[in-house]
Chain A
């Protein structure tokens, strides 16, 4: 086995930077359009926005900064991308962990790619913390102090009742704990994996099974809790027991599609000679299966709320379905995240051919971004939310930054774990 490393070439860096600059340009154009009144968009929603402002004023919005919806829109977008890319980074570590716990052989030569995702975690943590400190009052209704003043004009009994969990110090502490423990586990897993390269002892592999099991236990709890914190608490009055799974499912599919896409790219650039169509088949199966899993969770959440038709539950879907702004996206994500990958990746040949994976994975990745857009925007922006160059530009900037971090850390260590005890098995992988 070789010590071949990924060469993060200057031309690739240049391409990424150009994409990033295009993203910045789109963001600025989008921002200018929104600030100038956004043309007809703002006008048509002006009346509704005014209505919402009145509603907010009468109903506990005492601390609202009022006006500047473009600022809220930037904050909401920062939040969407933060949560989304945190998830992708986290799924990278989680994927490596499940491979070790399952003692999987097939994935031996590809584990370094998802592992590299973890390097985004510290950046995501800092971004998340800063965004929250700056934007919490614009994004999270429950952060307003006067909601908790009993007898006050804005007193909200329901939100006040959640104070034991939803309060700023505990919230921030949880955020710090999630990120630090995720990051520590990631460093620990990485340390053992790299130590294996040096001395070739199978002891590392055995130890990694234990570490990974520990990470999965923490991840099981923290992925759900972070979904409550970061997504569910936006719609403070609403509740869904499904949201933890829902966010996890969305993250997992995105992560798997990203892993697959980067492996396909590396393979086409001449790296990873050990990876053949059998490995791609397995990755394709992952994307296929967890697209169905996401849909299963989606239906489980939607169907029960639809059937029971309890106002405090169905309001979440009302906000989305009864809105010209969000209703199209509501149906589009079902096509992008279920029907398309389900039909396109159904056959064995499709999963084994690079061409299909290169079409399906980007659709799924974009579809789940839209999914997060739909989770965050209606709750934070109400009807004033929009989708334009601002959203596209911001997502591009985040995507480029993420790829930059992942690829440059990928270039630092050999691509394939040469002393992995299952490497030989993986090379002969045949399904």
Chain B
């Protein structure tokens, strides 16, 4: 993930406090790097101002690739390279449908999962930054990138505290 090395973490106990805090912090002109939650918080992506994921577009592309791949593969194998007449049928026919369908679904599914893992920094060789282990347990963690924000660290600490954070911790990465 891009970004700096110095962060401030606001720790929150409650998802409703967290959501209003996100609004307050963004309202104060502070850019939020990311929010980590133990479970999906409904509406959090909206208050964070995230755009809708473009994952469906990737899925369509991969699916289309699967369709093209299946048709060219079967066409090349059964009609061009080694023409085979099975049961007196045409080379290219409705018998291509099952393989085409399966490859479309397979590539769309695998492609989508792969894209998702890469985009969300969860590829196998990735070394994700762990901001606060409690975000997998019972705390919501809001990470603010100090290097990207022009607002001073003290000011950010004040805003985070005011917005209802139970604690505000600095965090550095190498």
Residue positions of A touching B, CB distance < 8 A: 299, 302-303, 306-307, 309, 346-348, 430
Q: Which residue of B lies closest to A296 (CB)?
A: B101
Contacts of B83 in A (CB 8 A): none
**B149 CB within 8 Å of chain A:** no
The complex places the Cα of A249 from the Cα of B103 at a distance, in Å, of: 24
CB atoms of B94 and A302 under 8 A apart: yes
The complex places the Cα of A430 from the Cα of B93 at a distance, in Å, of: 43
Contact of A347 among B43, B56, B87, B93 (CB under 8 A): B56
CB atoms of A303 and B56 under 8 A apart: no
Min CB–CB distance A327 → chain B (angstroms): 15
**B3 CB within 8 Å of chain A:** no
The complex places the Cα of A161 from the Cα of B146 at a distance, in Å, of: 84
Contacts of B87 in A (CB 8 A): 307, 309
Contacts of A347 in B (CB 8 A): 56
**B98 CB within 8 Å of chain A:** yes
CB atoms of B98 and A303 under 8 A apart: yes
Contacts of B94 in A (CB 8 A): 299, 302-303, 306
The complex places the Cα of A302 from the Cα of B94 at a distance, in Å, of: 9
How many contacting A-B pairs (Cβ < 8 A)? 22
Contacts of B52 in A (CB 8 A): 348
Min CB–CB distance B90 → chain A (angstroms): 11
Residue positions of B touching A, CB distance < 8 A: 42-43, 52, 56, 60, 87-89, 93-95, 97-98
CB atoms of A346 and B88 under 8 A apart: no
Contact of A303 among B42, B60, B95 (CB under 8 A): B95
Beyond A306-B93, A307-B87, A346-B60, 13 additional pairs, beta carbon < 8 A: A302-B94, A303-B94, A303-B95, A303-B97, A306-B94, A306-B95, A307-B89, A307-B95, A309-B87, A309-B88, A347-B56, A348-B52, A430-B43
The complex places the Cα of A322 from the Cα of B16 at a distance, in Å, of: 66
Q: Which residue of B lies closest to A299 (CB)?
A: B97
Q: Which residue of A lies closest to B88 (CB)?
A: A309
Instruction: Given A302-B94, A303-B94, A303-B97, decide whether A348 and B56 contact each other with a Cβ distance below 8 A.
Output: yes
Min CB–CB distance A297 → chain B (angstroms): 13
The complex places the Cα of A309 from the Cα of B95 at a distance, in Å, of: 13
The complex places the Cα of A392 from the Cα of B129 at a distance, in Å, of: 66
The complex places the Cα of A430 from the Cα of B95 at a distance, in Å, of: 41
Contacts of A430 in B (CB 8 A): 42-43
Contacts of A309 in B (CB 8 A): 87-88
| 5 A-B pairs (CB sep. < 8 Å) | A303-B98, A306-B95, A309-B87, A309-B88, A430-B42
The complex places the Cα of A264 from the Cα of B93 at a distance, in Å, of: 40
Contacts of A307 in B (CB 8 A): 87, 89, 95
Closest 9 CB pairs of A and B: A299-B97, A306-B94, A303-B94, A309-B87, A303-B97, A307-B95, A307-B87, A302-B94, A348-B56
Q: Which residue of A lies closest to B95 (CB)?
A: A307
Contacts of B56 in A (CB 8 A): 347-348
Min CB–CB distance B165 → chain A (angstroms): 27
The complex places the Cα of A306 from the Cα of B95 at a distance, in Å, of: 9
The complex places the Cα of A299 from the Cα of B97 at a distance, in Å, of: 8
The complex places the Cα of A376 from the Cα of B94 at a distance, in Å, of: 24
Min CB–CB distance A143 → chain B (angstroms): 35
The complex places the Cα of A17 from the Cα of B42 at a distance, in Å, of: 48
